[in-house]
Amino acid sequence: MKLYLKIWRQKDRVSEGKLVEYTLDNVNTHMSFLEMLDTLNNQLITNNEEPVEFDHDCREGICGQCGVVINGIAHGPLKNTTTCQLHMREFKDNETILIEPFRAAGFPVKKDLKVDRGAFDRIISSGGYVSVNTGQAPEANTIPVGHETAEAAFDSAACIGCGACVATCKNGSAALFTSAKITQLALLPQAKEERDQRALKMIAQMDKEQFGHCSNTEACEVECPQGISVLNIARMNYEYNRASFLKFKK
């Protein structure tokens, strides 16, 4: 099929960007969206033009590295699907497709469709870990975790950190990502030691990274490829208020 592409091109984070139009013929409907971009880049390289920069790694919907806004929707029109797992059969012949980078104050554009998501790494580094004494691992059965608790923690841990929640939020909020990381640890006994400091530090870092505030539109859950629940945000608010109260009480 034939496609008309409007792609955001930007030399670097300080340069002014613009939409550039391309025409791509003979697109196979079995291609993934990133394979389609690969085909475009092959065409551009053949014509001695600069290829389009975009993020990707595993291309299996696991790593969370891919991610663009397609026709105004983070990761594209298919629900609970990453950009790399979106296939061209979801589009029509002669369709015009608008492709833009994830846009948020916390995600500065590095080049074209590639953004800097280092803010997520800094949020994790601020408190999204468990400190344990080195030595022999404890017997697993001595730290019992109920099935429902384990499943709830796993549901939160399923977040792949792609940033679609930020890109789709009108406020550019990272509340869903941060809350998923806080919740997955708050539910487990191994992480109780740093529970309070974790919530305070991660939320403080989230604010420092210039992400906006959550206003409960729930668009983040709708566009999340893993379907992470906004109930995690409620849990994060509880953890933050609890930690703030205990800190004040001391």
| pTM for the whole structure | 0.93
According to the CATH classification, is domain 3-110 in 3.10.20.30?
Answer: yes
Q: Which among 83, 77, 21, 79 has a CA at the least distance from the CA of 52?
A: 21
Tell me which residue has tokens 């679609």.
164
pLDDT score for 139: 76
pLDDT of 224-241, one tens digit each? 999 999 999 999 999 999
Coil, helix or strand for 75?
Answer: coil
| Residue partners of 39: CB distance under 8 A and separation at least 6 | 24, 27, 31
* 117-131+143-249, CATH topology level: Fumarate Reductase Iron-sulfur Protein; Chain B, domain 2 (1.10.1060)
Coil, helix or strand for 223?
Answer: helix
Locate the domains of the chain by residue range.
3-110, 117-131+143-249
Tell me which H or E stretch contains 156: helix 147-157
Q: Does residue 122 have a pLDDT over 90?
A: yes
182-186 contacts: CB < 8 A, separation 24 or more?
182/128, 182/232, 182/235, 182/236, 182/239, 183/152, 183/153, 183/156, 183/232, 183/235, 183/236, 183/239, 184/153, 184/154, 184/156, 184/157, 184/159, 185/128, 185/130, 185/153, 186/235, 186/239
> What pLDDT band is residue 250 in, cutting at 50, 70 and 90?
low
Question: Which of the two residues, 141 and 119, has the higher pLDDT score?
Answer: 119
pLDDT score for 72: 96
pLDDT of 35-85, one tens digit each? 999 999 999 999 999 999 999 999 999 999 999 999 999 999 999 999 999
Percent of residues, the chain, with pLDDT higher than 70: 99
pLDDT of 2-14, one tens digit each? 999 999 999 999 9
Cβ neighbours of 123 (radius 10 Å): 26
3-110 matches 117-131+143-249 in fold = no
- CA dihedral for 3, 83, 125, 179, sign (positive or negative): positive
Distance CA 208, CA 199 (A): 14
Distance CA 39, CA 161 (A): 27
Q: Which two tokens stand for residue 121?
A: 């790494």
> Helices 175-186 & 147-157, crossing angle to 10 degrees?
150
Distance CA 239, CA 229 (A): 16
Tell me which H or E stretch contains 220: helix 219-223
pLDDT score for 148: 94
pLDDT score for 133: 72
Distance CA 218, CA 233 (A): 10
